[in-house]
A = this chain, B = another copy of it.
Amino acid sequence: MTATDGHAHSAPATARARARAELTREITDAARRQLAEVGSDGLSLRAVARELGMASSAVYRYFASRDELLTALIVEAYDAVGDAAEKAARATSGRPAHRFVAVATAIRAWAVEHPHDYALIYGSPVPGYSAPTETVNPAARVALAALNIFTDGVADGEVATTASGPVPRSVKGAFGRLRAEAGDALSDELLTRVLLAWTAMFGTISFELFGHLHGIVEDYDTFFEHQMRRVARFAVTGDAP
């Protein structure tokens, strides 16, 4: 989504530009490796420079500050989950519940493979760091991938939009922006169901990765799939599984 990445395969540009793009990559890669070792607060420009065998001051040719490097990592992490979710959504067809489970499974697979990137974006906010606006769009991708499954499902008549109970007025009114992004197809009732599935999904993943299911669940794969099936069927039909 970045201007640089967008057409990286086209114009080789100058040797200098190519070298710059490569080194920028190497820096964020090294930073991500360090993130895995010491967490987001331990992330240090100097350590990154050391790993790359360059002077710490040289990193400043690529990132104006530590925070800017952090932002790059956050954007990349959001893009990575977003990619995984979109890919899973594209790769499946048919019943919305089935597609939702596929997207959830892809998101969890990414999280399990990249626990520190997951913690960076879905764990505690980094104190003293406030996410700049450039993280907003990448962050939305993963949610839109899931939401589109339901708009598709509504179009096909496979998703129930009617309410099985009253939705509080103040909850109803709060979805304007979300619906603007996802189209008009989604009723308030459906949105609350989707959000329930969504929070249950991230709650399950966070509990697993952050150790709160330790000693309670043994087979995380099976457990997750089971729970996502229930929650997906509920989101789609409004019925309990």
Contact = CB atoms under 8 A, between A and B. Distances in A.
A122 interface: yes
- Copies assembled: 2
Interface in A23-55: 37-42
Contacts of A40: 124
B168 A226 contact: yes
Contacts of A216: 174-175, 177-178, 195
A77 B125 CA distance: 18
Contacts of A203: 198-204, 206
A128 B41 CA distance: 11
A94 interface: no
Nearest to A218: B174
Interface stretch (A6-14, A101-109, A231-239): A231-239
Interface in A209-241: 210-212, 215-219, 222-223, 225-227, 230-231, 234, 237-241
Given A200-B231, A203-B206, 7 more contacts: A39-B128, A124-B124, A164-B241, A171-B219, A199-B203, A201-B203, A234-B234
Judged by DSSP, the binding face of A is: helix
A207 to B, nearest CB: 6
A124 B219 contact: no
A219 B122 contact: no
Nearest to A230: B196
Contact of A171 (B119, B122, B195, B222): B222
Interface in A72-125: 119-120, 122-125
A206 B174 CA distance: 19
A34 to B, nearest CB: 11
Given A123-B124, A174-B219, A42 B42 contact: no
A155 interface: no
A173 interface: yes
Nearest to A37: B127
Contacts of A225: 168
